[in-house]
Amino acid sequence: MSAGKILVVDDDPQIRRVMKATLVGHGYEVVEARTGEDALEKFPQEMPALVLLDMNMPGIGGLETCRSIRSGSDIPVIILSVRNTEKDKVAALDAGADDYVTKPFGIEELLARIRAAMRRSPSSAEGGPHGYTAADLEIDFDTRKVHANGKDVRLTPKEFDTLRYLVAHTGRPVTHRELLQAVWGPDYGDEPEYLRVFINQLRKKIEANPGKPKYILTEPWVGYRFAG
């Protein structure tokens, strides 16, 4: 039984070959694409469970490909890149990526990142809050629907799980490390830039004034707090 179908997008045939052999060896089904255009053509046909996407490709490039995928799908996307600056990571996460892995990488690290991206976070398990209601914000955690400021809001899975964890701990400061490990997994904790991007996106979607948030507050040097 397949562990899931993965779309591998990279313009280097040798990298695609190695990744395919490794992933197939660990139980995944692999579909290859050599360009962003090729990936966008295959994506709706194959409906993969996850996309491994090279950031630097000829043509439309990894970031634009990621934005196109994200505009119509919540499928996890992991960006692969030789660049290791915070600016590049933020750009990838802003484009809708769930994670960012720097080349060269160890295969065990990549497999761990794939498992983390494909898993449901513990915060989405039964026992958490079922909903939240205020004058300008309604969240149904069972149906994963959000209505804010008079309109329905579409959150990515990581955005939704981040919001759920914060709401579950309303009024309490949640540290960066705690939130990262709750939503992304135990191998995370030192990626505060991930949270900055996802919190900014959440604020844009649920806050009437994202620059002066009412619900998702920053706790300086600590983390974030949901003010219910």
Three-state secondary structure along the chain?
Answer: CCCCEEEEECCCHHHHHHHHHHHHHCCCEEEEECCHHHHHHHHHHHCCCEEEEECCCCCCHHHHHHHHHHCCCCCCEEEEECCCCHHHHHHHHHCCCCEEEECCCCHHHHHHHHHHHHCCCHHHCCCCCCEEEECCEEEECCCCEEEECCEEECCCHHHHHHHHHHHHCCCCCEEHHHHHHHHCCCCCCCCHHHHHHHHHHHHHHHCCCCCCCCCEEEECCCEEEECC
pLDDT, tens digit (0-9, with 9 covering 90-100), for 24-64: 999 999 999 999 999 999 999 999 999 999 999 988 999 99
Q: What is the pTM of this model?
A: 0.84
pLDDT, tens digit (0-9, with 9 covering 90-100), for 90-137: 999 989 999 999 988 898 999 999 998 887 654 444 456 788 999 999
Residue range 138-149: average pLDDT? 92
Domains of the chain: 5-118 (3.40.50.2300), 123-226 (1.10.10.10)
